[in-house]
Structure formats: structure tokens, C-alpha cells
Amino acid sequence: MHQLHTQTVGLPATITFAILAGLTVIGALFTITRRNPVVAVISLVGTFFALAGVYASLSAHFLAILQILVYAGAIMVLFIFVVMILNRDEITRVAARGMVRRGLGVVAAGYVVWLLASVVANSSATPLLGGPLSEPGADFGTVASVGASLFTDFMFPFEAVSLLLLVAVVGGLVVSRSEKQEDDAEETARRRAQVATEIRPESMVGGPTDATANHEAAHH
């Protein structure tokens, strides 16, 4: 690790990384602490930009551009639209109730952060296990090389992600079904239940009128 530091990462790079990483974290903190949703969303844009900078400093230029186009661009615009359409000055707090719970949460989070920090600080003393990393090739991070690895080595995950996205899209549609579709399903069920109560032997049913009344009540 030490070797790696001295060999390939100079002081300017370290400073750049510190600035970008700091901006990322600050943006993230603002995102979750601001009560005004617009401010929170803008902070998230800042985080995404800083993250794109981190990618760029790691020679992943194509990824950096995608990060800005897709996340800081398209997705954030959507976020802002949603916030504007909802048009709520202040989102009601849904955080943990009570001082005790919140205190416990802070203690737990602080412990994890402290643990991680000590692990990271400690890690420079232990060897990097794969041996010293080689310099990235000249075409590293270009569109061509990303495309090549996407469609050769990572062909199957690439296809599998499409299933993941399909589930996400269909799931989004399902949980945001319109009232009308709900009503249709409801109506079908009601009609079915009526047919069933007519067919069902009376011994099985606690009185057909009773059942129908229930369905009517549930429907209205």
C-alpha cells in the first residue's frame, strides 16, 4: 500500500482526491439533513458531480461523463420535477421517535464510522494483497474498452441487469396503479363473489345476504 502510494499517487492527486471526496460527503450530509427538499436535491447534484470528479481522477473518464449525464442530469431533473409537483414546503419528519432512539442511532452510526476510520487508518500498515497494481493501460476507461468488457467478460451480468430493470419498471407500475384499475379488479371480485354465493351450498355460507352485505360494505 505504501509502495503504491509513493509509486503512483503523487501529492496533487491525493489533494484532489481529498477535495472531491470531501465534497461528496458534505453533499451527502446536506442531502439528508436539509428540511427543504429542493436544497436536499441540489446537494445531491453536488454529490454526484464530486463523485464524477473522483471517477475522472481514477482515469474512468467515460464513467465520469455518464455519471454527470445520467445521474446529475436526467435523474436529478426528474427528482426536482417530482419535488415541484408535490409542492410541499416541508416534508414531515419520519425519523425515529424519541430522544433515546435517536441517541442510540447516533451512537451506533458513530461507532461504525469510528470503526471504519480506524480500519482505513490501519490498512496502510498491511500489504495490499494482490501485489502492486499495474498502471492502467492507455485505453483504460475509454468508451471502446468499457464497451468491449461490457459485451465480452460482463455479457451475462449486462443481460441480467435488464431483468432487474424490468422488475423495477413493472414494480413501479404495479405500486402506482390507477384507482380505475383497482376498481375494475374490485368489481370483478364482487361479481365473482356474488356468483359464488349463489352457487355455494347454504350450509357452507353464513347466510348469503350476510356475505353480500359484506362485499357491498367493502366496495363502498
Partner 1 sequence: MSFDLSQLSAIVPLIIVTGMGCLILLAETFARNRARTGLASLALGGCVFAFVAVAAQWDAAATKTTVLQGMWVMDRMALFLDATFVATAAITVLISGPFMREHGFEFGEFYGIVLFATGGMMMVSHADHLLMLLIGIETTSLAAYVLTGCWRRNARSSEGAMKYFLMGAFATGFLVYGMALIYGTTGGEMTYAGIAAKAAVSSNSSLFVAGVYFVLIALIFKVAAVPFHMWAPDTYEGAPTPATGFMAAGVKAAAFGAILRLFGTVFGGPGLPGEPIGWVRILATVAILTMTFGNLAALRQENIKRMLAYSSIAHAGYLLVGVVAVGVGIAGAQSAVLFYLVTYTFTTLGVFGVIAWVGKRGDERLFVDDWAGLGTARPALALAMTIFLLSLGGVPPTGGFFGKFYLFRAAMQSPELYPLVIAGVLNSVVSVYYYLRVVVAMYFRDATRPLDSYPSASMRAALVLTAIAVVVLGLFPGAVVDWAGGAGAAVAKVAGL
| Contacting residues toward partner 1, per CB under 8 A | 115-116, 119-120, 122-123, 126-131, 133, 152-157, 160-161, 163-164, 166-168, 170-171, 173-175, 177, 181-182, 184-190, 192-193, 196, 200, 204-206, 211, 214-215, 217-219
CA gap 148, 212 in Å, rounded: 63
CA gap 91, 2 in Å, rounded: 47
The set of residues, in sequence order, having a beta carbon less than 8 Å from that of 13 and lying 6+ positions away, is 57
Check: CB of residue 188 under 8 Å from CB of residue 198: no
Min CB(4)–partner 1 separation in Å: 11
**Smaller CB separation from partner 1, 74 or 133:** 133
Q: Which residue has the cell 352485505?
A: 213
Min CB(148)–partner 1 separation in Å: 13
Cell representation of residue 172: 413501479
Cell representation of residue 177: 396503479
Min CB(130)–partner 1 separation in Å: 1
CA gap 194, 208 in Å, rounded: 9
What does residue 126 show for φ and ψ, rounded to 5 degrees?
A: -100, 150
**Smaller CB separation from partner 1, 46 or 208:** 208
**Smaller CB separation from partner 1, 6 or 122:** 122
Min CB(21)–partner 1 separation in Å: 14
Check: CB of residue 36 under 8 Å from CB of residue 83: no
Min CB(132)–partner 1 separation in Å: 9
CA gap 47, 45 in Å, rounded: 5
**Smaller CB separation from partner 1, 106 or 168:** 168
**Smaller CB separation from partner 1, 39 or 167:** 167
Min CB(131)–partner 1 separation in Å: 6
CA gap 40, 29 in Å, rounded: 9
